[in-house]
Chains A and B, each alone.
Chain A
Amino acid sequence: MDEEPERAKRWEGGYERTWEVLKEDESGSLKATVEEILFQSKRRRVIESHEQVRLGMMRHLYVVIDCSRSMDDQDLKPNRLTSSLKLLEAFVGEYFDQNPISQVGIITTKNKRAEKLTDLSGNPKKHIDALKKAVDSVCAGEPSLYNSLNLAVQSLKHMPGHTSREILIILSSLTTCDPANIYELIKTLKSLKVRVSVIGLSAEVRVCTVLTRETGGLYHVILDESHFKELLMMHVKPPPASSSSECSLIRMGFPQHTVAAPTDQDAKPSFSMSHLDSSSGPGLSLGGYFCPQCHAKYTELPVECKVCGLTLVSAPHLARSFHHLFPLQAFTENSVEEHQGDRFCQACQGELKDKTIFTCTSCQSVFCMECDLFIHDSLHCCPCCIHSQIGP
């Protein structure tokens, strides 16, 4: 599949009423379209993220994927399951890109049960492989919110207090089959400070509303595939740390990757510590990262040393988390009429068609809505400011 969400064939698409998109507003009718409200909230999100808040940089996130009967529904192409797994692959990649010192685990739920697809770990490859494999699985039965939350909590509750504990649920079904009262579990989650967010694929379900409200998470329902992607990407950004979470200094090790030269006769291939318990994966290798404290070997970073418990990261990882702490200032919003000068966006060079334009506070460059979002979500720096720094 391409980067762009593929447009479905006309005849495969849902029953659409294209004529209804044309809404007349001139008559002064009060029908504010939902799109407009969405647009506003998008904008608000950008603004909100620029307040000075403490962010939980070390995240532990469990993604729960609903694999119930309703995932066979074909309103996302080719079906909900395939589509969500594809998006999740992208999500995992992006997640580790932005949060290098965090970890993810994946849980699936179907037939009233919950299974762990992957354990919490900081290795994106492993997760993506697992997600790719999961495409072929059969969707059957009902999901169980209780079981999957319970399973996630079992591992999350052992995580140290200075890290964030999060669960993200992709829920397609409208029902859940629970063995016990879920409200008790919600209380437990709340006391453990686990933040649960839900992305619904079909409609708003009450129990999720309560769940997310109580645990301080977000609850969104998708409109279509691109909206789904947008919602997923919202969860890439680290959430603000709750004021009650502990502060502590963390010891970290920065091991270097050393590979013994093949000519060196003393070098012997050795096992990586992280592969000890899993049967799969590469066995013996020559090079790797060696813990500065106990010299245990690991093939990948970041990881927590199994022997001495030291967090092992590489320096670039930390550097990449940096922009979360010092985000780009929000641009000021003005209407097009007030703007003097040429009406071109400095970034994409397109004409400013929207009613509102955005001005960088430091270099006074003007941007369109789309570019504003792109700059704040992906670039994290103003292109014009950078340009003027480098240029003469």
Chain B
Amino acid sequence: RDELPRLLDDGHGVLEMPSGTGKTISLLSLIVAYQRAFPLEVTKLIYCSRTVPEIEKVVEELRKLMEFYSKQTRESNNFLALALSSRRNLCIHPEVSSLRFGKEVDGKCHSLTASYIRAQHHSNPSFPVCQFYEEFDAVGRQVPLPAGIYNLDDLKDFGRRKGWCPYYLILHANIVVYSYHYLLDPKIADLVSKELAKKSVVVFDEAHNIDNVCIDSMSVNITRRTLDHCQNNVDTLHNTIHKIKETDAAKLKEEYRRLVEGLKEANVARETDVYLSNPVLPDEILQEAVPGTIRTAEHFVGFLRRFLEYLKSRLRVQHVIQESAPQFLKDIYDKVCIDRKPLRFCAERLQSLLRTLEITDIADFSAATLISNFATLVSTYSQGFTIIIEPFEDRTPTIANPVLHFSCMDPSIAIKPVFQRFQSVIITSGTLSPLDIYPRILDFHPVTMASFTMTLARTCLCPLIVGRGNDQVALSSKFETREDFAVIRNYGNLLMEMSAIVPDGIVAFFTSYVYMENIVASWYEQGILENIQRNKLIFIETQDAAETSMALEKYQEACENGRGAILLSVARGKVSEGIDFVHHFGRAVIMFGVPYVYTQSRILKARLEYLRDQFQIRENDFLTFDAMRHAAQCVGRAIRGKTDYGLMIFADKRYARADKRGKLPRWIQEHITDGSLNLTVDEAVQLSKHFLRQMAQPFRQEDQLGLSLLTLEQLESEEMLQKIAQVAHQT
């Protein structure tokens, strides 16, 4: 793994490593070592992961690493590493932290810590403020945290002990671990990440979905309800302005003056390279002053109102409309005489107004913020975005539920500032194949692209492609055979046979909820379900999060006490993304069908078209790539380490085709032999039986020695060094 040093010097990289093989620890240890060797080159490590448990895991790894360091060097090191999460997970204020939703917590926190509130508190001590923040502001700002590794709980503890707010403690850390929304989502990135130094190394872990995250962070969906909310917001704004005008006209004047001066300050900051630039706020805006039409508060409110009315009228459509951003702008100019320029300042202007009006509860104004963001985006980017207005959902064509999708099609817009700003960015995950597509869709030039495989003392994964049933009926989830009883029966047969020979837990993935419901219903009718239940209990993932987590809990219990269980879930669902099935929780994963996205969706169509035009990626290529990365993601859930083992069954004959197979990660691909292609259910059962018996033989750490685990002597031996050099040369 000596790709990394090259990478750290300058430039970006894409690395694929199978999960559970120490991806995190090797990245961390290399970067930390680099940091220690060249403290001036790399000042900070930003490690982005996906979910809170994953973040915690990274911190634990880091803690181990640091312990090892201090044991080896016999000196305490002054590294400070922190995990960071939303206010909801970090708040220690007794009232605020009892709230349930992230938005509420954020709003409440803001209402206790905003500068004008605190100013009022000074004059009137009975006014409530957050004592933790006060304490932090008074003392903590200057005093850095003692060096060490802090996970979320440690931070909270520390905060409680000192009486400081943990959320604001993050400055000065050498290593920051947080969710990648903090870096990508412009709305949050602005708050948290903009002061990060340029000489940082950014690692995106579990980044196989990074393009979708980018796109989500830049897309806006507007429904009628949003507009109604916004209408209320605007009314409130209007009233507040009215009130303030009577009491405190000077304030509004002050704001006006500031706006005339423009956003020069922000511009200065960006030029001196202090902040991470916010993609919502393009450079040109900063150089200009806010246009006169929306400079005064009343005018701006009127402007917003007009814009809102226009959107409402647009939502009153009977058929689907798709148009580009310039078309939309032209239309809005023709209809309600709104120019492009003021639209672009909408987001900034609203922020400024909210600040001036001292509105405490930001959460209430989310609708208005959303609309103004939309206005800014639509007027800023003429390319890479599309507007789709749908009068109803596809599934319920009779119920009118108009939605305006303003969808971003180019993930590179959101991630561009990150690549530009930081000297090296590493994108890594267990499933990134094919590697070359990521640089293309994210529009950057990696120095290194590498896919590592596992070196194993035994072949602990067994991918099988089942293409036929026992009666030679081709198994496939493709549209034409989807309703075919023979296929459904054979799928049922496969699951039944597997449930009889696989111990403990089996996870089965379907391509969609609808498909799963159909299949399970017809299994029930054919009596297959009953037979399966004789072997194992069945749990089903639903769209309801609470129900699913309940099912998961019971599933794990059933696996634990020997009853055995099957979890039926959906690719792209919650289970397939964030939940690991270590050891007995997932001895086999069955993937029923190829998880293509719903291709009829207009947003997807628009995106495919864009990809074809801009990046020369054919639709089919992208669809297959997307399907295969999800399939790989699903089956990868089962293997989480070298001592783990699991079956991976791809039940669709299309997997056997070279174009599909070639897009699986290398560490899975190298175990697919020609003998495991296009098997019948029977053959698969025989193979799995054999595999499971082999894997159940006792396996100890000593057996791995010399193969996948090296002792210090072996590592230093000449022979091994040569071997390493050879391997490095190949990749």
> Interface of A with B (CB < 8 Å)?
14-15, 17, 20, 30-32, 34, 37-38, 40-41, 70, 75, 145, 174-178, 181-183, 200, 202-209, 220-223
Contacts and interface: CB of A to CB of B under 8 A. Distances in A.
Residue of A17, A37, A178 contacting most chain B CB atoms (<10 Å): A37
Given A34-B694, A34-B697, A37-B697, A206 B560 contact: yes
Contacts of A220: 696-698
A202 B503 contact: yes
Interface in B666-706: 675, 682-683, 686-687, 689-690, 692-699, 703
Interface residues of B, number: 39
Contacts of A200: 696
A145 B562 CA distance: 9
B504 A206 contact: yes
A174 B503 contact: yes
A14 B687 CA distance: 10
Nearest to B679: A15
Contact of A37 (B503, B560, B686, B699): B699
Contacts of A203: 501-503, 587, 689, 692-693, 696
B707 interface: yes
A40 B535 contact: no
B473 interface: no
Contacts of A209: 584
A206 B645 CA distance: 13
A370 B682 CA distance: 37
A223 B697 contact: yes
Contacts of A202: 501, 503, 689, 692-693
B707 A32 contact: yes
Contacts of A34: 458, 694, 697
Contacts, number: 102
B456 interface: yes
B640 interface: no
Contacts of A206: 503-504, 559-560, 562, 583-584
B564 A30 contact: no
B457 interface: yes
A368 to B, nearest CB: 24
A206 B503 CA distance: 8
B708 A15 contact: no
B686 A14 contact: yes
B455 interface: yes
B563 interface: yes
In the A-B complex, the 5 residue pairs with the closest CB atoms? A207-B562, A221-B696, A206-B584, A204-B696, A15-B686
Residue of B500, B559, B561, B694 contacting most chain A CB atoms (<10 Å): B561
Nearest to A20: B675
B707 A30 contact: yes
Contact of A17 (B501, B564, B583, B675): B675
Nearest to A34: B694
Contacts of A222: 693
Interface in B428-482: 455-459
A183 B689 contact: no
Given A202-B501, A203-B696, A204-B692, A30 B455 contact: yes
B560 A207 contact: yes
B457 A30 contact: yes
Contacts of A37: 457-458, 697, 699, 703
Nearest to A17: B675
Interface of B: 455-459, 500-504, 535-536, 559-564, 583-584, 587, 675, 682-683, 686-687, 689-690, 692-699, 703, 707-708
Contacts of A38: 697
A205 B459 contact: no
Given A174-B535, A175-B563, A176-B562, 12 more contacts: A15-B682, A20-B675, A32-B458, A34-B697, A37-B703, A174-B564, A178-B563, A202-B501, A204-B692, A206-B503, A206-B562, A207-B562
Nearest to B455: A30
A203 B459 CA distance: 16
Contacts of B683: 15
Nearest to B457: A32
Given A206-B560, A206-B562, A174 B697 contact: no
A223 B536 CA distance: 24
A175 B562 contact: yes
Contact of A175 (B459, B564, B584, B689): B564
A15 B458 CA distance: 22
Given A34-B697, A202-B693, A221-B696, A182 B562 contact: yes
A70 B695 CA distance: 20
Nearest to A204: B696
A205 B457 CA distance: 22
A280 B707 CA distance: 61
Contacts of B536: 175
Contact of A221 (B560, B564, B693): B693
A204 B563 contact: no
A145 B686 CA distance: 27
Contact of A208 (B562, B587, B682, B708): B562
Contacts of B695: 204
A175 B537 CA distance: 10
Nearest to B695: A204
27 contacts: A15-B686, A30-B457, A30-B707, A32-B703, A34-B458, A34-B697, A37-B697, A40-B703, A75-B689, A178-B561, A181-B561, A182-B562, A183-B561, A202-B689, A202-B692, A202-B693, A203-B502, A203-B503, A203-B696, A206-B559, A206-B560, A206-B562, A207-B560, A207-B562, A208-B562, A221-B696, A223-B697
